[in-house]
Amino acid sequence: MQVTPFPDSKRFNWQTASFMAFFHLGAIPALFMFSWRVFFATVFLYWVSTGLGISLGYHRLHTHRSYKIPLWLEHAFAVFGTLNMEGGPIFWVATHRLHHQKSDQPGDPHSPRDGAWWAHCGWIITGDVKHNNTRLMAKYAPDLGRDPFYLWLNTYHWVPIVVLAVILYAIGGAPLFFWGVFLRVTFGLHATWLVNSAAHMWGGRRFETRDDSRNNWMVALISFGEGWHNNHHAYPTSARHGLAWYEFDPSWLLLRVLRAAGIAKNVRVAQLSNPLLEREAA
Nearest to 144 by CA among 154, 131, 159: 154
Q: Report the distance separating Cα 270 and Cα 259, nearest Å.
A: 16
The per-residue pLDDT for 16 is 86
Neighbours of 65 (CB within 10 A): 14
- pLDDT tens digits, one per residue of 106-115: 999 999 999 9
Cα 267-271-54 angle, rounded to 5 deg = 45
Bigger pLDDT: 166 or 13?
Answer: 166
Burial class (CB within 10 angstroms; exposed 0-12, middle 13-18, buried 19+) of 268: middle
The answer to whether 109 and 6 are in contact (CB under 8 A) is yes
Q: What's the DSSP call for residue 113?
A: G
- What's the rounded Cα separation, in Å, for the pair 206 and 234? 9
> In this predicted structure, what is the pLDDT of residue 7?
52
Percentage, residues of the chain above pLDDT 90:
83
Tens digits of residue pLDDT in 139-180: 889 999 999 999 999 999 999 999 999 999 999 999 999 999
What tens digit of pLDDT does each residue of 229-277 get? Answer: 999 999 999 999 999 999 999 999 999 999 999 999 999 999 876 544 4
Mean pLDDT, residues 22-41: 97
Average pLDDT estimate for 54-59: 98
CA distances from 83 to 36, 77, 86, 181 (A): 22, 10, 8, 9
